[in-house]
A and B are shown apart, each in its own frame.
Chain A
Amino acid sequence: NAGVTQTPKFQVLKTGQSMTLQCAQDMNHNSMYWYRQDPGMGLRLIYYSASEGTTDKGEVPNGYNVSRLNKREFSLRLESAAPSQTSVYFCASSEAPQESSGANVLTFGAGSRLTVL
């Protein structure tokens, strides 16, 4: 049982290049999330997908696109990378409560470290 798997673990890009970060979970979770973490700071939500077929913007969506390919997979794409997007990216998933007031526990992947030169 792998949990949440992210690829690649490390990537170096030049300004203007594009790339896609992949995330897959094997826990049959409904919701998936992409966060970024800059040095010395907490995590900031980029995009999330509450259920298969839906995606929504989080706190810092500019410069990113996402695709919820199926229930297991949620990818994050940088169309034209900028140095400000140098960060560690974390994917997470959760079962999500049936009612909006229920508890929501996230399981995180190990992270993808991206450097944009």
Chain B
Amino acid sequence: DAKTTQPTSMDCAEGRAANLPCNHSTISGNEYVYWYRQIHSQGPQYIIHGLKNNETNEMASLIITEDRKSSTLILPHATLRDTAVYYCIVRVVEYGNKLVFGAGTILRVKS
């Protein structure tokens, strides 16, 4: 299984960009990188995913390095409501499309 490494926690000032790093050095060529977040004890919420190219949607941007061994999730203008645990996940390419969640990064947005 491809595994990911994320910092345990990060702080960000409200209104500034939040940049959350993730290492996935064992990722294989056809495995996607996914980002989810979990606010309080709610169900995880999908944010964005990518394979090789950088991706952007209404929530965030995903920057994947050329060698695909790491990526960065960018929240362009963080708000207090973005305080959550952010999970970087690499999909395991096997029957069932299993997603393995690590401990994630606790992002605290402060005013």
- Give A contacts to B, CB under 8 Å: 4, 31, 35, 40-45, 48, 50, 56, 58-59, 88, 90, 92, 94, 96-97, 100-101, 103-111, 113
B 82-110 binary contact with A (CB < 8 Å = 1; else 0)? 00000100010111111111111000000
B103 touches A41 (CB 8 A): yes
Given A42-B87, A103-B49, A104-B91 in contact, is the A110-B99 Cβ separation under 8 Å?
no
Q: Report yes or no: A101 in contact with B30, Cβ–Cβ below 8 A.
A: yes
> Cβ of B32: which chain A residues have Cβ within 8 Å of it?
103-104
Is A108's CB under 8 angstroms from B43's CB?
yes
List residues of chain A with CB within 8 A of the CB of B104: 42
B-to-A contact residues, CB < 8 Å? 30, 32, 34, 36, 41-46, 49, 51, 87, 91, 93-104
Could you tell me the distance in whole angstroms from the C-beta of A40 to the nearest C-beta in chain B?
8
Contact A43 B44 (CB under 8 A): yes
Give the complex CA separation of A107 and B99 in angstroms: 12
Whether the Cβ atoms of A44 and B101 lie closer than 8 Å is yes
With contact pairs A103-B32, A105-B34 given, residues A97 and B44 touching in the complex (Cβ less than 8 Å): no
Q: Given the known inter-chain contacts A42-B103, A104-B91, A105-B34, please indicate yes or no for A97 contacting B97, CB distance below 8 A.
A: yes
Q: Report whether A96 and B97 are in contact in the complex, using a CB–CB cutoff of 8 Å.
A: yes
Distance between A5 CB and nearest chain B CB, rounded to angstroms? 11
Contacts of B100 on A, CB cut-off 8 Å?
Answer: 45, 59
Complex contacts, A96 vs chain B, CB 8 Å: 97
Whether the Cβ atoms of A50 and B93 lie closer than 8 Å is no
Contact between B41 and A42, CB atoms less than 8 A apart: no
B41–A111 touching, CB < 8 Å: yes
Q: Is the CB of A108 within 8 A of B44?
A: yes
Asked if B101 contacts A105 (CB within 8 A), the reply is: no
Assess whether B95 is in contact with A100, with CB atoms less than 8 Å apart: yes
**Contact in complex: A48, B96 (CB < 8 Å):** yes
User: Cβ of B101 and Cβ of A107 under 8 Å apart?
Assistant: no
The reply to whether A42 and B101 contact each other, CB–CB distance below 8 Å, is yes
